[in-house]
Structure formats: structure tokens, C-alpha cells
Amino acid sequence: MPTDYELRRQENIARNMKLLEGLMGKHKQEEESRIKQTKPVGHNNVPKKKKRIYTPKKHVELSSEDEIMGSRPAKRARSESPQPGLRRSLRQAGKIPPNHQAQSQTQLLSLVTAKAGVDHDREPNRRSGKRVHNPKTFGHIPGIPVGTWWESREDCSNDAIHAPWVAGISGSLEGAYSVALSGGYEDDVDMGDYFTFTGSGGRALKGTKANPKNLRTAPQSSDQSFENPFNKALKISSETRKPVRVIRGYKLPSPYAPLEGYKYDGLYIVDKNGLNDGGFLVCKFAFRRIPGQPPLRRTSAGKPDDNNGSDVDSDMTGV
């Protein structure tokens, strides 16, 4: 017997998925008509795609009150895992027995060669390196290729891909520089090249009586809004169409999430934003991956490499 909470969650997931599929179809059509224009019928020798350059669209009308954006259920039990099989234990990174490597070699990729020599006994809270690039820039960071893997957010921050250690959004009034997908919102949908993302705010930090607010995260307890500087940054990005760096974390319940740690999945565009009123207000965003980047890989579900990341995974339900 599904609970009320579960029903709403499923509804929202379906809605978000439909949104993403709509965007996919739209982009596919655009692509097809673009090819048709440059390639007359019956003419096969025309060079395929030339180098795909990302050209920002002049202007795209925004709907700030987009009803297709899914709402998030008001009450959310943090420990309640929709798909326990896909969830990694929060504190087990680095403690996973070696036999997990037997699951697949490909899923760990070259990324984990970096992990091979990781010293798990390193001092806690020690800065592991000095940052040489400014994370408050748009686009790629020199020397950090798509697919780069880190054990922790701290390491990722030192590489200037995503500066904050805890927060999921990094940005300013110029727009968002980067976001982290860590599975903090259970109705977000991840299809790889497309995903939905929930803004920040509305979480009353809790703590003990002696040390109030000494916990860094908390369940949703009030409304979000675009006045929140992070949400505002994402909204601005949807207008400017500037690229946003995306990292996926091991806690994200998605076949594109790494099994451990965090990985850099390249540049995305914030394609759509909306504010949904359901329970608490939440800011929702739809991201689209910029074409022409190294393909994403599936990790935790399906056959690794069975999909280069460009196709629609209409059968994907594991979100």
C-alpha cells in the first residue's frame, strides 16, 4: 500500500521525466531540421556534422511559473530511500570491500586508477592541495578533463571544478559556475544528458540546544525562492545560456552517478526554470548537456557502456 508521500513522489518523478523527454524531443527535432537544411535530399557525400560549436540562442522565453516542473513532497524523511539497491551507504566510501571491483572493470574506468593509491588514513580536514585555478569562471577548468574523479568534495574544490564543500550550487549574479548532483532531492530525474535539479534553501539548520545550527544540512522545512542567491544564479544561467560545470556524487540515485566519490561530467546548459507550489515552494531547473563532449557512462545500472549517453533512455525508471 503506497503511502501518500510515495504517490506524490512518483507523480513528481513522472512529471519531471516528461519534461525532460519533451526537451529531448524538441532538441532532436531542431537537430534534424538543421541537418536537413544543410544536406539536400539524396546527397550523401556531404560531410557529416562539422565541428559542433555551441552557439547561444538569442533569446529564449522563460516561464518562471512553469507548471510542468514537479513539486517536491512537503515531508521528506531523509533516511527514507526510494531505491535502497541504488543507494550507497553514506560513510562507506573507501571502506567498500575489494570485491566490489569485481562488479565491473569498466565502471571504475581510468577514474579509479587515481583512486588506487588513495590514502584513506590521511588526516581529517587537512587541505590536500592548493587551488591553482579560479572556480568562479564559466566553462572548463584547464587540466581537468571530463570524467575526472575525486574521492571527496574537498578534492573537487581544490581542482576548482566546484568550490563549495557542502553547497550544491556555486554562482553569482553573473550566473552559476557549477552544480553538484548529490541526491538530496528524491524526485529529481537524471537521464544523463538531461536532468532536473532542485534549488537550495528552505532547510532550517538544526543542532543541539548547546550548539544550535551546527548541522550543515537539514530536511526541507520552508519555501524556496529565486531570491536565494544560488537559485537566482541558476535562473540567470537559464537566461544567459552560459555553460555550467556539473559533478555527480555517489549519493545520487542514478545510473550515471559514480559508485564512490564524485566525478566531473562536463558542461550543461540550464534549459528551463520554474517555481512550483506544492507543499513547500521549490525552485526547479532542467539541465541539458552541451553536445560534443566525451559521452557519459552508466555505472550502477544496466550494462556499462551500452549507451553512449546521446540516446533517450526511455526505459530508465531507476530514479
Find residue 262's DSSP bridge partners: 150, 249
As a whole number of angstroms, the distance between CA 248 and CA 10 comes to 22
As a whole number of angstroms, the distance between CA 142 and CA 131 comes to 12
For residue 60, which of 292, 315, 279, 269 has the smallest C-alpha distance?
269
What's the full length of the chain, in residues?
Answer: 319
Beta carbon nearer to DNA, 26 or 213: 213
As a whole number of angstroms, the distance between CA 234 and CA 173 comes to 9
Look up cell 533516511; give the residue: 79
Beta carbon nearer to DNA, 249 or 304: 249
Beta carbon nearer to DNA, 24 or 176: 176
Q: How far is the CB of 282 from DNA (least distance, A)?
A: 10
Beta carbon nearer to DNA, 181 or 267: 181
- DSSP string for 233-263: HHHHHHHH---EEEEEETTS-STTS-SSSEE
As a whole number of angstroms, the distance between CA 190 and CA 254 comes to 6
Q: How far is the CB of 80 from DNA (least distance, A)?
A: 8
Q: How far is the CB of 192 from DNA (least distance, A)?
A: 16
Beta carbon nearer to DNA, 184 or 243: 184
Q: How far is the CB of 200 from DNA (least distance, A)?
A: 4
Q: For the chain, give the longest Cα–Cα distance.
A: 76
Q: How far is the CB of 46 from DNA (least distance, A)?
A: 42
Instruction: Please answer whether residues 318 and 301 qualify as being in contact, where contact means their C-beta atoms are separated by less than 8 angstroms.
Output: yes
Q: How far is the CB of 10 from DNA (least distance, A)?
A: 19
Q: How far is the CB of 304 from DNA (least distance, A)?
A: 23
Q: Which grid cell sits at 28?
A: 532532436
Q: Which grid cell sits at 65?
A: 511559473
Beta carbon nearer to DNA, 168 or 304: 168
Q: How far is the CB of 298 from DNA (least distance, A)?
A: 20
Element spanning 181, H or E? strand 175-181
> What are the DSSP E strand ranges found in 152-279?
169-172, 175-181, 194-198, 244-249, 262-278
As a whole number of angstroms, the distance between CA 212 and CA 207 comes to 4
Beta carbon nearer to DNA, 184 or 304: 184
Beta carbon nearer to DNA, 34 or 206: 206
Residues in the site for DNA, rule: CB under 7 A? 79, 89-94, 124-125, 127, 135-136, 152-154, 157, 163-172, 179-185, 188, 197-198, 200-203, 205, 207-208, 210-211, 213-217, 228-230, 249, 251-252, 262
Instruction: Please answer whether residues 302 and 290 qualify as being in contact, where contact means their C-beta atoms are separated by less than 8 angstroms.
Output: no
